[in-house]
Chains A and B, each alone.
Chain A
Amino acid sequence: MRLLLTAVLFLYSCMSWSQFQLSGTVTNVYGEQIANSHIDLNSICTQSDASGNFTLSNLKQGEYLLKVQSEGYALHQEKIVLNESRNISVVLNDEETLETIVIHTAQQKTYNQKRVTQKYLQQNYSGSLSKTLANVVGLDAVTIGSQTAKPMMRGLGFTRMAVTENGIKQEGQQWGADHGLELDALTTESVEVIKGVGTIAHGSDAIAGVIEVNNETIPADGFNGQYITTANSVNKSWANALNLSYKKRNHFYKFKTSYTTYADFRVPVDEIIYLSTKIPLTNGTMTNTAGNELSVYGQWGYIADRFQSILSVSQFQSKAGFFAGAHGVPSVDDAKPDGSDRNIGMPYQQVYHTKATYHAKWRNIHDEWDFKVGFQRNHRQELSFFHTHYSNQQPPEINPDVELDFKLITLNSELTYKKDWILDHTSTFGVQQQYQTNAITGYSYLMPAYNRWNVGFFGKHLWNITPKTNLEFGARYDQASLKVDGYFDAVLYDYLTDSGSSENDALANAQRSTAISKDFSQGNIALGISRQITDDWDSSLTIATNFRFPTAMELSSNGIHHGAFRHEQGNPDLNAEKGWAVDFNHHYHKSNFKIDASIYLYYFSNYIFLRPSGTFSILPHGGQVYQYDQSKALLTGLEVDATYQWEKITVQGQAAYLYNKQIREDGLNYPLPFSTPVNGQLNVRYQFNETDLLENHQIQIGVKGALQQNRIAQNEDVTPGYAIANIQWSSALKWNQWKPQIRFQVNNVFNKVYYHHNSFYRPLGIPEFGRTFQIFITIPF
């Protein structure tokens, strides 16, 4: 009632006689004018023009709340008292990012969100985007070898976390742990890490949260470029990247490319023990783990006051060898040096990820249409000299060494409409659809061919209750239809009957996947509140449901999983995995001290997991059969990240604690697999005085570590705790107008042997890198 009254009053005030004018200029802290910023004065609004100016006329005397918003900047709020016409200047602060210390901007988002800049990615570059982001508290990476990794958040990864680029969900995460994320770190522009929520905007899979990669930042006018080169001693890698952009009036163009080549990596041990076989490593070299990576990115954008359109086309490809000494049965011979540490011999994997995205926005002062469409083709191959566990299998005539070949094609589209109502209400409605098809070939069989169609409708509403309190709620409904192709392995059938298996056993095992046609539907809700408790302290609380559709593998597979060497059996009766997520996040920031603390809880009503059956598989090489099953599960934890700056010294520390377990009817509440151990890091940085030659000259000493992980799922290994020391020196040289930045870094200074719990090579007893030297040079031009 009161709301209505206020609304009426505002409408009335808009219509009444007015005599004043408020004009002004919007700039950033560097004095650059900001065009197209959104200016609200109570219920009246406008936009700044190309030179950052705005004018609001016909205003009545009185007190107003001015809000100025622009992408990439923090919201500016100011009380304006009008007794006469005024001209003001508005300075927008940069949005607060992970490494910001000086500027505090009030958190407006109703969820746990951190922005990671390109600068942060370059300062923490660790070979891949996933591993680079693993430095953010709460994130981890499932690694394989020196360059390939996929991200994890709070111990949830694979299809329990969404990664998007330009708003389109990155596909390919459904592959196993030996498969990485096909996004390049050196050409990534900015990343938003959202924890705890994501389902309303992204649908299935966004359980733990979302990593939103944004490569659609609008470049500065004219020609801008950046050249990056970096090398690392551990795998003798050399990466080169070029980021170019050109903007003239309404049009802009970007071209980005990077190429990385790396040799076999080395570990600080001379032998490993895999399945009770001692495998000597000559000079600690992991034979045949060399590889290369190429990324090419092109973008064309058109930007006007009311309309924006961005087309991006990219290709990411990589080729990486597998360590053959532990690819299946232990092999001492295959771990011996193969003559060159740069060759990529069999077995190896090869991935081509081709992507095109188009994103258009039509903006009015009070509403906005947003349209996205994406095409992705993820082509992954595993090559290995023809080998078989079935003596009756003959090599294929074409491509005899292609063991596995998947072609995953995904089409996405999304249309959203956003409307600002009077009095601080914003609603968003959207429809999203996805079509995905997977085709398979190769002499081995791993996962079925399938196609999936998914459509989701969602709506959310943001209410700025007071300038300090925001409330957001949303709902989503998804409908999906999955068709999995059946596959009967005739070779296996003959093999089994020849080996004396019963007809029934042979039939059951040779049916590698059963044809399934299944429909799923799922509703979800979310609620978020943010509150600025004091000038220095904001908090947000989010409660949301989440879900994911079971994968084709989980529903239908039957046979030895090639990566894990396990006989896995799908379960066609699985329901969509669903649960609740609660995230409570605090941000305290006072002058030179800031701290972020989050506490979270995920509850799954039917978490999908692999249950050891206790019965041996009749397949050669097969241990016991693992069956996909569902149970309740709980996951909770705490994350803290704090920074303190005292004159020239900055101290940054972070820690993450995670606890999880299944909640089963039989009381066997085993921990969930891939649990990130308690981990943290502490870094101390000293900033030197600026000299004629050097600026931003600093040295940093850090310690990074994890406690022992003994809360393991069945058939995982306890991973001992560790602490490693790192040193880095960085500076920008003042050379004419160029300012090349150089960073030199030594990781694991004391050459400590330690293990990463979530490494693909962990069960093989292969430790992480020893002492490594890295150099990173950025030359802007």
Chain B
Amino acid sequence: MTTVWVYAEVTPEGPSPSALELLTKARSIGDEVAAVALGPGATAAAPALGEHGAARVYASDEQVYADTLGQPAAHTLHALIREHTPDLVLFSTSYDARDVAGRLQARLGSALMSNVTDVTAAGSAQTQIFGGSRVVDVTLEGPAPRLLLVRPKSFPPEPNGGTAEVVPVDTPVPDELTTVRRIERHEETAAGPRLEDAKVVIAGGRGLQDPSNFKLLDDLAAAIGDAAVGASRAVVDAGWVPYSYQVGQTGKTVKPEVYIAVGISGATQHVVGMKGAKRIVAINKDGDAPIFRLADLGVVGDALIVVPKVIEEIRARRG
């Protein structure tokens, strides 16, 4: 009998969408599926987690899991794993879950695989390399449980109408694991739909030449309507736009209907965050840019000239 757990990230607003994706996949791998939810909102998230396949939700609403990073969650998850011995634990590749998984690996001495794009069995998984051009099958060895960090949006979430039994977790967290404190939270998100939810994502890179030219992308997004603006890591690192714009390996994973890459060359780092888009448009001066290999429609030319024309064209069509 195979037991698969999902480390479900929760907030008082609900479970993260990726928790529901992972539970959907876990159903096809495990005979028994459970979720572990730690932090404010955990108990309240149980019905949604149950509906997507968790028969049991180990839940603690303690504030300590939200106020600090990684250590308390790794501690509690470790205690639960020793008690219940699951075979496989799935994590989403998020900022906080990477902290938890990395620490848990040190405690367990278990295999931890990152950037998983598919789970093929309780002890094997797939990833993609070289900008998604190759699929790699990996077998995991060593002590159970195996730990997988799965890329967001690898599976569509599908409810199966189940209900979860809530198992309250009261593992004490030692004070020495709570010395890191989040003392302020700042939001830097733009107006309009979220990057992850927008029908169209328009992302800008170095080819825009100057931060002020990002305004063009905002204008294009406004002309389209259900569109959000993103960016490559290069321009985020350069401070042109906030990090919340970043699409790619260390940023967000998006799967919009249309992805428009503007002045982005198509480095692997970026590509893994957007290649799942249904249609890809690329505008770049360099005809040899790797982004053109992914594009359904590529335009070789200066984005600063092409984008205003597209805005005009859309407005004309709208009349």
* A and B found bound together: no
Residues of B within 8 A of A (CB): none
